[in-house]
Structure 1
Amino acid sequence: MRNIKISLACLLLIISICFIFTGCGNQNEQTAQNTDSYLTITDAADRVVTLNKKPERILPLSASFLEPLHAVDGKIIARVSAKTGIPDEDKDLPEVGNVYNINLEKVIEQQPDLVIAYKGMNDKFVSTFEDNNIPVIVLDMRTYEQVQHTVDILGQITGNTDKAQKLINDMDSKIAAIKAKIPQENKRIAILHSTSQNVTVQLENSIAGSVAKILGFTNIADGITPLESNPTAAPYSLETLVEKNPEIIFVTSMGKMETIKEAMLKNVENNPAWQTLPAVQTNKVYFLPQEMFLLSPGIHYPEAVETMAKLAYPDKFN
């Protein structure tokens, strides 16, 4: 009898131990599932962002993100207001303000599971989205390298990396074809940015500066210390312009073209030194289209490259 009781006690102990280990196993398995994530990336603001699931309600805060998102089958639920750059399929989407003046309440009302912010324009809103448990990724699309990187990231987000790589390859091929048409020479160029208030020079990390770099042009502003308020621009100096002696001057602008040209006349053209510049004497001062060089051309970067190439070498393009 005593042996039977001992056997039953041992059996109960073994069963109890099994339940304990089984329970621990289930708990550990559940913890692993809860910590699984869909994607972890480092964005353009050096933030490590983890997405727990594939985003199905994406809200981009710049029109520049719309076309690349469509190219990788991103599901867009709302957009910013813009005069240009809105695909037909997005024109009826709810609007959440313009890129410089986002309406946070409207963004939150849309209940996005991912907000894509434009670096340098939407950074101040990031903490608000995070406080409302809305994942946000900051991306940049000024230079061509940044556009390539953004397309790659969007492909990872939507799970369509093959489509992203195809888009990047297509852009690379178009740009290579454009470069093949022009001479491989170090043409000296200057890029001025004119507003109704002042004139600055554009650096390599600006949109126009990136295009000029792709074409192999020598930007006379290379090495100049950028403005504290704008890392893509530097102070304008007519003396430096005369010293560097550019063969071509490109002008980017913000505002009405008539006002911009009037400001240019007041700030630079009335100065006798301006008339000594070879670019001025040979009528090689070109205003670049705002739709390509004010805001990012995005996946239309090859068109921006072709635009600048045609201005510099009109005889090479039919």
Structure 2
Amino acid sequence: MLLLLLVSFAGCGSQQNTSQGSGTASQEHFAVIHDAMGRDVVLAKKPERIVVTSASFLEPLHEVGGDVVGRPDSKTKMPDYAKDKMSVGKVYQIDVEKVLACEPDLVIVNKGMNEKLVNTLEENGIKTVVLDMKSYDDVKDEIRAMAKITGEEQKGEDLIASMNQKIADIKAKIPADKHRVSIIHSTNQGLTIQLDGSIAGCTAKMLGWDNVASGMTPLEKNPDAAPYSMETLVEQNPEVIFVTSMGKIEEAKAGMDKTMQENPAWQTVEAVKNGRVYYLPQDLFLLSPGIHYPEAVETMAKCLYPEALTK
């Protein structure tokens, strides 16, 4: 019996040591990031040389104590701290050789544009984290991931709390009315309808407004948009129309005015009859607003309630 008891205690001691060993090993990692590709990316130590493939990552990363050695070109999203950093090409044409020349220990990749870089970078021994940033929830996830990367998780939570409060303050200033809205995206190739997953769709939803296109079948290559149909728009009869377009708002308005004049069916839509067609800036509604999501919410809300939100 004594011998059996000794063996039993020895076994428990062995299992406990194994468990403690596993705990110690896990604590050796600096951070584990669950990214937008569903991967758990293990960072053995704090990254010291970071490259980002989207300029929209620069501000949130900086807000949680991060810096970069390389970034893409951008005419609208370049904070002062990053202007002199090495360029790795245009966001749609990232130059892998330039990325490698930065000698990064981490590359933050933009989902939907640059995932093709992941395999090449990983084969060269460079860690990658893929982040999405369309919806407000995406942006909050992005901030939390970046705060883990920099080891400043409290800064991330403080930033999110500040953004939440700003949005709550904006909503408190306007009536809690429901509005039936349609969001049209205008390009040289024609028109599409923006769904809830788009930035403008997400913003309208945050304001409590109903996107008349919710539930429509998305385009095969764009899950955030649906095909435009004049017949469907007339049937949906939105009371408000928002228009997004790359380029200058004046040019988009001129193009849409021509389209509306050429087809009398537009004049039967409530939003058009009542002059409630509004044009949204590309830097907040086509490029990710990032930490400026409260500004996007305010911009959309101000279209309908300018007096309530005029400082």
TM-score (normalizing by structure 2): 0.89
- For the pair shown, the structure with the greater C-alpha radius of gyration is 1
1:179 and 1:215 in contact (8 A); partners too:
yes
Which residue number corresponds to residue 265 of structure 2? 273
Name which of 295, 299, 302 aligns with 1:303.
295
Which residue number corresponds to residue 135 of structure 2? 143
Which residue number corresponds to residue 97 of structure 1? 89
Q: Are 1:234 and 2:243 matched, yes or no?
A: no
Using a 3 Å threshold, how does the CA distance of structure 1 residues 115 and 307 change in structure 2: closer, same or farther? same
Which residue number corresponds to residue 81 of structure 1? 73
Name which of 143, 153, 161 aligns with 1:169.
161
Which residue number corresponds to residue 7 of structure 2? none
Which residue number corresponds to residue 206 of structure 1? 198
SS in 1 for 2:214: coil
Provide structure 2 residue ranges, at least 5 long, that are not aligned to the other structure: 1-16
Which residue number corresponds to residue 174 of structure 2? 182
Q: Report the alpha carbon displacement of residue 272 of structure 1 after superposing the two structures with TM.
A: 0.9
AA partner of residue 241 (structure 2):
I
Using a 3 Å threshold, how does the CA distance of structure 1 residues 269 and 193 change in structure 2: closer, same or farther? farther
CA–CA distance in structure 2, aligned partners of residues 34 and 294 of structure 1: 40
1:194 and 1:251 in contact (8 A); partners too:
yes
CA–CA distance in structure 2, aligned partners of residues 206 and 121 of structure 1: 15
Matches within 5 A, 1:1-318: 36-257=28-249, 260-261=252-253, 263-265=255-257, 267-318=259-310
Using a 3 Å threshold, how does the CA distance of structure 1 residues 34 and 307 change in structure 2: closer, same or farther? closer
CA–CA distance in structure 1, aligned partners of residues 43 and 275 of structure 2: 53
CA–CA distance in structure 1, aligned partners of residues 130 and 57 of structure 2: 11
AA partner of residue 43 (structure 2):
L
Identity %: 55
Q: Report the alpha carbon displacement of residue 259 of structure 1 after superposing the two structures with TM.
A: 5.1
Provide structure 1 residue ranges, at least 5 long, that are not aligned to the other structure: 1-24
Which residue number corresponds to residue 3 of structure 2? none
RMSD of aligned C-alpha atoms?
2.1
1:199 and 1:267 in contact (8 A); partners too:
no
SS in 1 for 2:176: coil
TM-score (normalizing by structure 1): 0.87
AA partner of residue 29 (structure 2):
S
Q: Report the alpha carbon displacement of residue 184 of structure 1 after superposing the two structures with TM.
A: 1.0
